[in-house]
Amino acid sequence: MRKQFGAKVTKKEIEKYSKSVHWKGSIFENLEETKMSFSLSSMPAFLRKQFCEKERREAKNLPIVSFGKSLIDEAYTKMQSIWYGHSAIFMRLNHKNILIDPMFGNDAAPIAPFKIKRFSQNTLNILNELPEIDLVLISHDHYDHLDYESILMLKSKAKLFFVALGVKRHLVSWGIPRHIITEFDWWETHDFEDIKITFTPTRHFSGRGLTDRAKSLWGGWVLKAASENIWFSGDSGYGEHFKEIGKRLGPFDFAFMECGQYNENWHQIHMFPEESVQAAIDAGVQKCIPVHWGAFALAQHPWKEPVERFLNKAMQEKLSFLTPKIGELFRCNSDSRSQKWWEDIN
């Protein structure tokens, strides 16, 4: 169980983190004030609903389209992608295979007394079906984005890891060689096979235990190739940083927009679906897919609600979107907008 926590922060790492302008005293801080809104008096009712009242919050045996290498067009240079529920994304861009937040495990709370089980079965097996991975991107160290079992399976399959500043220590403790891991501060850019990859700020937090809260960064990723400019928004509350991302790095041909696991009590760290649409507009997104739903019940809303609210707002604002099935290969010009596959699932 202790391996799940990752690595503790050392004095040497603190010295490294303190060189970042986003390190304030003893922790990383958001660009604008961000708080959780919990009162002690409301906690019992919240916990009862969270762990005991699960009607319509969970899907049972949510199907995933099987992966087939024949689906990938080896000559196609633009984005080909597969969403695997929550924020796990396989992407092929510039002939390179990229995995973003590869959480394929079956439990989003492996250290908690109550499991948060995945809606789909045997998802770790997907990692065996995928081709060799040229690059893994990790946005932050929360359990629903950085999964111990998934990383172990990627040891012999992934060539490089680009991660948020502070996440490297966890990977090294799990056996990933130091020399294949590069850490990113906000706005930092590195070239990867003719793709410019930039780590962008979000309004969120980090931590895997009681003592490491905000001891690593959190963010999103921009992947700019000659053919397309792609943005993965990352977990975030709504804020002015979206306009700044668009100003500095946009517009974007396609984006993966966080949409799900929201609640009034933590509104400043996870957007409501309507805000996800507005964030895409702020950043200059041309077309997008809502992610961060379809895998776990981390909040108290019905599991279908995020995508339904997102689509209603996107249509009002005339924002183009796709809604592919989980596991379905799609491209920016795919025609999957009309699919409402979730309506047929209980």
DSSP summary character for residue 343:
G
| Cβ–Cβ < 8 Å for 126, 152 | no
- Measured in degrees and rounded to the nearest 5, phi and psi for residue 93 equal -145, 130
| Cβ–Cβ < 8 Å for 291, 29 | no
In the predicted structure, residue 177 carries a pLDDT above the cut 60: yes
Confidence (pTM): 0.95
Q: Quickly state the pLDDT bin for 38 (edges 50, 70, 90).
A: low
> Does 268 or 111 have the greater pLDDT score?
268
Q: Determine the pLDDT at residue 55.
A: 72
Mean pLDDT of the chain: 94
Residue 214 to residue 142: CA distance in whole angstroms: 11
| Cβ–Cβ < 8 Å for 61, 301 | no
Q: Determine the pLDDT at residue 52.
A: 62
Burial of residue 244 (number of CB atoms within 10 Å: 0-12, 13-18, 19+): middle
In the predicted structure, residue 137 carries a pLDDT above the cut 60: yes
Q: Determine the pLDDT at residue 39.
A: 56
Share of the chain above pLDDT 90, in %: 86
Order of strands, sheet of 135-138, starting from the edge strand that comes earlier in the sequence: 181-184, 161-164, 135-138, 96-100, 89-93, 80-83, 329-331
Q: Determine the pLDDT at residue 51.
A: 62
Residue 258 to residue 218: CA distance in whole angstroms: 13
Region 137-165 average pLDDT: 98
Give which of 80, 181, 201 is closest to 139, Cα–Cα. Answer: 201
Give which of 227, 142, 141 is closest to 161, Cα–Cα. Answer: 141
Count of Cβ atoms closer than 10 Å to residue 328 Cβ = 19
Domains of the chain: 61-344 (3.60.15.10)
Q: Determine the pLDDT at residue 346.
A: 80
Lowest mean pLDDT among 21-35, 55-69, 114-128, 159-173: 55-69
Q: Quickly state the pLDDT bin for 114 (edges 50, 70, 90).
A: confident
- Cα 107 from chain centroid (whole Å): 16
Region 67-77 average pLDDT: 91
Q: Quickly state the pLDDT bin for 36 (edges 50, 70, 90).
A: confident
